[in-house]
């Protein structure tokens, strides 16, 4: 049984409808986003499900996951804090911002806080160069921008995310 389809029947149908029936392969990226919605990365099970839905091999699906930076094969923090340190942001203090944020959270780029909440990642330009320093948050099946940041304001954003996670945790229980 295809679990992805079972869990999100309407989403899967809507995705497949976007592309010509003979090119189901096109659905792979939207299906990967769908697979990540639940727990932030693409599980082996989802790879099999997507291969079945698109008529591809699991190797094909895995290589697509590996090619794009917003698809994750490995579990990370619930929220990925993706700080842009590309040239225009760096000219406006992004490197210092990232250094301070790592210190504040007590983890380095690529690491996850012990409570499993946050992973810090360093990313390339996010088209917000005029509002640096900035970061985006990937998690809970969403991507949101946070611009004009200081370490203080960033910690506030993280605090809000922690509360959001607790609330949805309670609701689920």
Partner 1 sequence: MSQYLLLRHRELPDLDKLSGYRAQGGFETFKKAVNDMSPAEVLTTVKESGLRGRGGAGFPTGLKWGFIPNNLWPHYVVANADESEPGTFKDREILENNSFQFLEGLMLASFAIQANVAYIYLRGEYWQLAKQLDRQIAELEEAGLLGKDLFGSDYSLNLYTHLGAGAYICGEETALLESIEGKLGQPRLRPPFPAVAGLYGKPTVINNVETLANVPLIIANGAAWYRSFGTEKSPGTKVFSLSGNVVNPGNYELPLGTTFRELIYTHGGGIPHGRKIKAIMAAGASSTIIPASEEALDTPMDYEEPQARFNAPLGSASVIVMDETVNMAWLVSKTVNFFKHESCGKCTPCREGTFWMNRISHRLVSGNGSSADIDLLDHVAHQIQGKCLCALGEFSTMAVISGVEHFRPDFETLVGN
Q: Which is nearer to ligand FES, 63 or 144 (CB)?
A: 144
**Measured from the CB of residue 149, what is the shortest distance to ligand FES in angstroms?**
11
Q: Does the footprint of partner 1 cover residue 59 (CB under 8 A)?
A: no
Q: Which helix (H) or strand (E) holds 120?
A: strand 118-123
Rule CB under 8 A: choose which of 69, 150, 153, 168 binds partner 1.
69
Segment near partner 1 (CB under 8 A); pick from 38-46, 56-64, 152-160, 165-173: 56-64
- Binding-site partner at residue 130 among ligand FES, partner 1, none, CB < 5 to 8 Å by type: partner 1
Q: State CA 94 to chain mean position distance.
A: 21
Instruction: In angstroms, give the least distance from the CB of 89 to ligand FES.
Output: 3
d(CA 4, CA 33): 11
List the Cα angle 37/42/45 in 5-degree steps: 110
Residue 144 partner contact from partner 1, ligand FES, none using kind-dependent CB cut-offs of 5 to 8 Å: partner 1
Which residues, 112 to 141, sit near ligand FES by CB under 6 A? 125-129, 132, 134
Nearer to partner 1, 75 or 87 (CB): 87
Q: CA nearest 133: which of 88, 72, 168, 166?
A: 88
Dist. CA 55–CA 150, nearest whole Å = 47
Distance CA 89, CA 91 (A): 5
Distances (CA, A) of 123 to 6, 60, 75, 145: 34, 25, 18, 13
Kindly state the number of chain residues that form the binding site for partner 1, as judged by CB under 8 A. Answer: 41
| Distance of alpha carbon 109 from alpha carbon 50, whole angstroms | 30
Interface residue list for partner 1 (CB under 8 A): 18, 20, 23, 25-30, 32-33, 54, 56, 63-64, 67-71, 86-88, 90-92, 123-132, 136, 142-145
């Amino acid at each position: 049984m295809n679990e992805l389809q079972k869990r999100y029947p309407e989403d899967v149908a809507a995705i497949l409808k976007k592309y010509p029936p003979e090119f189901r392969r096109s659905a792979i990226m939207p299906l990967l986003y769908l697979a990540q919605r639940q727990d932030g990365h693409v599980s082996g099970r989802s790879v099999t499900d997507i291969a079945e839905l698109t008529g591809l091999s699991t190797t094909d699906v895995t290589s697509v996951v590996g090619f794009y930076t917003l698809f994750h094969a490995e579990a990370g923090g619930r929220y990925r804090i993706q700080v842009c340190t590309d040239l225009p942001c760096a000219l406006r203090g992004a490197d210092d911002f990232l250094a301070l944020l790592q210190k504040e959270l007590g983890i380095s780029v690529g690491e996850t806080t012990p409570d499993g909440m946050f992973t810090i990642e360093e990313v390339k330009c996010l088209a917000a160069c005029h509002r640096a320093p900035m970061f985006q948050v990937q998690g809970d099946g969403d991507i949101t921008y946070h611009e004009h940041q200081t370490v203080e304001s960033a910690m506030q954003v993280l605090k809000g995310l922690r509360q959001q996670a607790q609330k949805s945790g309670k609701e689920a229980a």
